[in-house]
Amino acid sequence: MLTLAKISFCIVFLVFAFLSQIPLFGFDFQSFEWGLFLYSPTLLVVFILSHIFKHNYAFISLICILIAVLFGLPLFSFGGGWQYILQPSFGYILAMIFMSMMVFYHNYHSENKENCCRNSILTLLFANLFGVLYFILSNHLSFIPVNIFAFQLIFDLVFAMIFLWLFKKNQ
């Protein structure tokens, strides 16, 4: 019963992350002024959930959410249905599934915690890059504006490093 509660918590937390955008500061390189950047915390949430549980509930929750979305529930920011596979943002979903497996593996099967942190950060970096490459390829080679990708990546990495530092302090 506790396992079902943990999976339900992960599902709710992930759906909330999929549908929310946090306003943070950003810099527009074209107009050379500070502005608002809408940060999507989804990769960070998957990263954190893969670290905090002793079982990979993040992976199970992502698979449950993906199945629900493919059957039509609009849990992602661009809706739902089987045609979501053709959306340029579907690469981030695939990257999150891969990232949940790799971060969980590094966290619970690594002898050296320093290597675990480094490998987890590299996995987060790879997930961001895979999502962008999938977006570019599935969107007929249309590029994401550099400032959007750069700030998403920077905030993901900074928040992940803060989490790892806090997580390391508690162990």
**Is pLDDT at 170 greater than 70 in this prediction?**
no
SS3 at position 5? helix
The pLDDT assigned to 45 comes to 94
The pLDDT assigned to 109 comes to 77
- Give the chain's radius of gyration (CA, Å): 16
Banded pLDDT at 38 (limits 50, 70, 90): confident
Report the C-alpha gap between 30 and 90 in whole angstroms.
28
Kindly state the tokens that stand for 21: 């955008």
Q: Give one DSSP letter per residue of 47-115, joined into a string.
A: HHHHHH-SS-HHHHHHHHHHHHHHTT---BTTB-SGGGGGSTTHHHHHHHHHHHHHHHHHHHH-S-HHH
SS3 at position 155? helix
> How many alpha carbons fall within 13 Å on the CB side of residue 11?
16
Q: Does domain 2-169 have CATH number 1.10.1760.20?
A: yes
The pLDDT assigned to 95 comes to 92
The pLDDT assigned to 48 comes to 92
